């Protein structure tokens, strides 16, 4: 049976959701920054893009290009909630759904196309209408249809905004011959630049390079991958979506400030703040870890260390204890702008201890879990963390590296 994959991509997701919530922002150039005080735009609205303001543009440059652009901090909790609602829409269409990032998903309708969806273009339009009903009338999306995830994504990336586009035997080579590498999933900037030096600017051209030349230039792995790209076949990157992952192997959290931190109390408070988020995630997944990592970054300096424990931990007091021990190894004490904490070597089958001290901390941790799961992550927390107005709240990355935790996704 010929595969039928749909790739759905919400147009200008971060900005569009804010415009949907606030009609005053609709039809106006809008830039989204990560947080108050940040100077880089992580997303822009369709109106801003029309003026030449794209993702990654600095705040000052955006204001120079368009003085009336509105800049708003990202709303990560709302984006995640919206993605969960979008996931429900897709699961009503097919049981085979893979949320690829916050604003895009692959839907496999291979086994239900014949009886339910004989016309895939109509199905794409139905999905677009369902998204509007669930998320709001301002939210538009692209839908790409193909026999592989690779080509379905390329179709949605290259189609006009708000359109449904199907890859067929007749137009497949044309798409591969006219699509720039910036719209090709898995071909990064460095690889595209190296290909451009060879005069190769679109996937179709790779077919005319002898395989032995590709191998000498790119090595055996990328030779195979580039040939797949040239013919529109499924790449290794996207095939990994089929790989079953039993549980997360590590949980980490990093934060980059918009100023340098020199005060040691401030620095340790931030690290404790990050520990709270990590323990919250680990315990919700019923995991515990044996390796604790700490990393601190300055303007031109970097320091990191780790420790591997005999027994796994998932109590906040234990993680803070080991982070404090690792922190004491840091001798340079340079000003810090980025902080990173990670708990690794996670496992499900950890043995709970019988020591009274461990049981006491488990009872305290369970009480904190109960309160924070109901009322919010920082409702109950140790006093030795920043004041409420300085707390660092969880954020969700666009590519949902922790989707097993966030969405309950197994693949």
CATH of the domain at 211: 1.10.150.20
Q: How many CA atoms lie within 13 A of 309 on its CB side?
A: 22
Q: What is the side-by-side strand order in the sheet with 30-33? A: 41-44, 30-33, 70-73
Q: What is the pLDDT of residue 373?
A: 81
Q: What is the pLDDT of residue 411?
A: 40
d(CA 23, CA 151): 35
d(CA 98, CA 403): 10
3-state SS of 299-367?
CCCEEEEEEEEEEEECCHHHHHHHHHHHHCCCCCCCCEEEEEEEEECCECCCCCCCCHHHHHHHHHHHH
> Is the domain of 78 the same as that of 114?
yes
> Is the domain of 157 the same as that of 190?
no
Closest CA to 390 of 297, 294, 269, 299: 269
Task: State how far the alpha carbon of 408 is from the alpha carbons of 32, 76, 208, 394, in Å.
Answer: 27, 18, 43, 17
Strand 5-10 with 141-146, pairing = antiparallel
Q: What is the pLDDT of residue 121?
A: 94
Q: What is the pLDDT of residue 386?
A: 64
> Is the domain of 340 the same as that of 393?
yes
Task: State how far the alpha carbon of 68 is from the alpha carbons of 30, 37, 150, in Å.
Answer: 9, 19, 38
Burial of 75 (0-12, 13-18, 19+ CB in 10 A): middle
Q: What is the pLDDT of residue 407?
A: 66
d(CA 54, CA 44): 6
Ramachandran class of 37: left when φ > 0, alpha when ψ lies in -120 to 50, beta otherwise: left
**Last-in-domain residue among 148, 167, 186:** 167
CB 335 within 8 A of CB 301: no
Is 0.95 surpassed by the pTM of this model? no
> Is the domain of 133 the same as that of 2?
yes
> Is the domain of 173 the same as that of 266?
no
Q: How many CA atoms lie within 13 A of 254 on its CB side?
A: 13
Residue-range definition of the domain harbouring residue 189: 169-243
> Is the domain of 70 the same as that of 19?
yes
> Is the domain of 280 the same as that of 345?
yes
Q: What is the pLDDT of residue 23?
A: 94
Ramachandran class of 89: left when φ > 0, alpha when ψ lies in -120 to 50, beta otherwise: alpha
CATH of the domain at 84: 3.30.70.270
Q: At what angle do helices 264-284 and 316-327 cross, to 10 degrees?
A: 140
Q: What is the pLDDT of residue 399?
A: 53
d(CA 95, CA 195): 39
- Total domains in the chain come to 3
Q: What is the pLDDT of residue 154?
A: 94
Residue position matching structure tokens 């067929």: 168
**Last-in-domain residue among 197, 228, 243:** 243
Task: State how far the alpha carbon of 366 is from the alpha carbons of 135, 319, 320, 360, in Å.
Answer: 35, 16, 17, 10
d(CA 283, CA 236): 32
Strand 70-73 with 30-33, pairing = parallel
> Is the domain of 195 the same as that of 179?
yes
- Ranges of residues in the chain whose predicted pLDDT is under 50: 410-411
CATH of the domain at 263: 3.30.1490.100
């Amino acid at each position: 049976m010929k595969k039928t994959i749909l790739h759905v991509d919400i147009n200008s997701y971060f900005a569009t959701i804010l415009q949907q919530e606030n009609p005053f922002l609709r039809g106006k150039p809008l830039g989204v920054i990560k947080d108050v005080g940040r100077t880089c735009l992580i997303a822009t609205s369709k109106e801003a893009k029309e003026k030449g303001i794209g993702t990654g543009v600095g705040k000052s440059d955006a204001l120079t290009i368009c003085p009336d652009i509105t800049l708003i901090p990202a709303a990560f909790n709302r984006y995640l909630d919206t993605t969960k609602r979008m996931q429900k829409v897709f699961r009503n269409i097919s049981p085979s759904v893979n949320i690829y990032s916050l604003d895009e998903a692959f839907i496999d309708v291979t086994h239900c196309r014949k009886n339910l969806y004989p016309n895939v273009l109509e199905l794409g339009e139905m999905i677009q209408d369902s998204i509007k009903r669930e998320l709001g009338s301002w939210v538009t999306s692209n839908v790409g249809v193909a026999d592989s995830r690779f080509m379905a994504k390329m179709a949605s990336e290259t189609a006009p905004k708000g359109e449904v586009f199907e890859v067929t035997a007749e137009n497949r080579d044309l798409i591969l011959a006219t699509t720039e590498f910036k719209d090709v999933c898995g071909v990064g900037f460095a690889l595209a630049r190296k290909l451009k030096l060879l005069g190769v600017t679109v996937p179709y051209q790779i077919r005319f390079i002898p395989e032995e030349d590709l191998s000498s230039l790119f090595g055996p792995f990328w030779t195979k991958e580039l040939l797949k790209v040239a013919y529109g076949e499924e790449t290794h990157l996207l095939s990994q979506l089929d790989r079953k992952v039993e549980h997360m192997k590590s949980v980490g959290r990093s934060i980059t400030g918009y100023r340098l931190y020199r005060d040691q109390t401030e620095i340790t408070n931030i690290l404790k703040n990050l520990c709270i988020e990590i323990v919250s995630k680990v315990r919700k997944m019923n995991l515990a870890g044996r390796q604790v990592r700490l990393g601190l970054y300055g303007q031109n300096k970097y320091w990191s260390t780790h420790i591997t424990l005999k027994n796994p931990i998932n109590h906040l007091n234990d993680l803070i204890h080991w982070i404090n021990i690792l922190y004491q190894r840091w001798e340079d004490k340079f000003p810090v702008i980025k902080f990173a904490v990670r708990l690794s070597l996670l496992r499900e089958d950890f043995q709970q201890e019988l020591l009274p001290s461990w049981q006491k901390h488990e009872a305290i941790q369970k009480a904190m879990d109960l309160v924070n799961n109901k009322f919010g992550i920082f409702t109950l927390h140790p006093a030795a963390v920043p004041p409420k107005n300085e707390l660092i709240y969880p954020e969700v990355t666009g590519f949902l590296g922790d989707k097993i935790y966030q969405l309950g996704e197994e693949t």
